Amino acid sequence: MSLMKVAAAGALRAGVRQAGVLIVLLGLRAGVVGAQELKYPQTTFHPVSEYGASQNAVFANTLWWTMGILLLVIVLTLYAAWRFRERPDSPEPQHIHGNTVLEIAWTLIPAMIVVLIAIPTIRTIFDNQRDAPEGALQVEVIGHQWWWEFRYPEQGVVTANQLYLPVGRPIELKLHSADVIHSFWLPRIGGKRDVNPQAKAHEGEQPSFNRIVFTVDSAGYYPGQCAEYCGDSHAIMRMSALAVAPAEFEAWVAAMRRGDAEGGASPGAQAQGVQAQGVQPPASDASMAGMNLGALPAPTGAGSAVQPPVTDAEWVAAGRKVFLSKPCTACHTIQGTTAVGAIGPNLTRVGARPHIGAGALENTRDNLARWIRDPQSVKPGALMPGALRPGGNFPPTNLSEAEIQAIAHYLQSLK
């Protein structure tokens, strides 16, 4: 008997210690999350919009009520186990059958807690569905297998996978899908919203879409992703929002509208791109000789083969010619050029995006070449054809390695 008592007391002490550790850990958590912000950029605990903050507040409200209940239950259980433990000569416990006061209390108190959780929750649900204020920036979000299209109808700008937003201005996203159901989720801006295919509108009706209204309060880079399984490469349907000062946003709009009208990015941007990568453009090695690049400067010597590009600017110019003369233009638009395809992502200023393939790869020249060469190897099921493999309903592009390199140079230059 006494051995059992010792064991029980030991177990109880261990239990109390564990509960203490749990409580201390919960208390520390708030501080720890701050330090992990960079490690977990898709945290929902550090919202940067009132939309995200309102949802985080609902979560916190629910969390603290339930944590309080948990703590109360743990303390009462441990107290009862200790206070009413069996002792030598302890009398038979009193038998109780029903206690009206207790039963009313443990029905009413939880009901009141549910109400205290429900009121802010329902208020937030309605608040999150409110109409956009006057002057909100309109952005049409279109989910595609497996990338995001962002249209700014008032600005006449279309981009892909990176959403540009001005800080401090209300934004209204209108979301719909070009194919299956996706879910739009930029965790630091706010919660998920379904991106549904649009049902055919009836006579005199507007097609329906889901909406999110929010205002971003601090500049920054906020990654996100599709949050509803939508096929093979659902996991590579990422995106990001870049929130910038209003003047910077206007500058971006102007640059997007200009696009590649001058036939190449500014020399400064090109030089910057090369330096940032620390990669020298491929020199004119033997494997590049004799390639078919109709865009090259005229051969210098009589009888010489077509000269491969040497300088970065030559590669970019060659890539531009190749891009505009190949089937690339059937699917992609680059503002300011003859490429006006609308099936694939708009590539205007694609060189300035952090990633390619909707977050599949970092945006480097090597990765661009890899993507153009064989998108299926990077993103299974992608609708883009590779040099040798078809993609979607499209036959292989049959681009040569030199043409791929040239296009990669050109796309990288579009900053």
The minimum distance between CB 237 and ligand CUA, in angstroms, equals 4
The minimum distance between CB 358 and ligand CUA, in angstroms, equals 9
Q: Cα dist. 217→73, 225, 374, 382 in Å?
A: 40, 21, 40, 35
For the residues of 319-367, what is the DSSP string, one character each? Answer: HHHHHHHSTHHHH-B-TTSS-B--SS---TTGGGSSEETTTTEE--HHH
Nearer to ligand CUA, 228 or 314 (CB): 228
Nearer to ligand CUA, 309 or 391 (CB): 391
The minimum distance between CB 357 and ligand CUA, in angstroms, equals 14
CA 279 to chain centre: 28
Q: Cα dist. 403→41, 245, 331, 363, 389 in Å?
A: 37, 38, 18, 18, 16
The minimum distance between CB 295 and ligand CUA, in angstroms, equals 37
- What's the CA gap between 378 and 386, in Å, rounded? 11
Sheet containing 210-214: order of strands:
157-160, 147-152, 137-144, 171-177, 210-214
Nearer to ligand CUA, 160 or 256 (CB): 160
Among residues 309, 304, 307, the alpha carbon closest in space to that of 283 is found at 309
Nearer to ligand CUA, 155 or 233 (CB): 233
What residue ranges bind ligand CUA (CB under 6 A)?
143, 146, 182, 226, 228-230, 234, 237
The minimum distance between CB 162 and ligand CUA, in angstroms, equals 16
Task: Name residue, tokens 């039963």.
Answer: 103
Q: Cα dist. 383→37, 121, 145, 343 in Å?
A: 35, 41, 8, 9
The minimum distance between CB 229 and ligand CUA, in angstroms, equals 6
- What's the CA gap between 377 and 384, in Å, rounded? 11
Nearer to ligand CUA, 170 or 381 (CB): 381
Nearer to ligand CUA, 309 or 345 (CB): 345
Nearer to ligand CUA, 327 or 381 (CB): 381
Phi/psi at 45 (nearest 5 deg)?
Answer: -85, -5
Nearer to ligand CUA, 48 or 226 (CB): 226
- What's the CA gap between 173 and 63, in Å, rounded? 29
The minimum distance between CB 388 and ligand CUA, in angstroms, equals 27
Sheet strands (E) in 161-209:
162-166, 171-177, 182-186, 190-195
The minimum distance between CB 226 and ligand CUA, in angstroms, equals 3
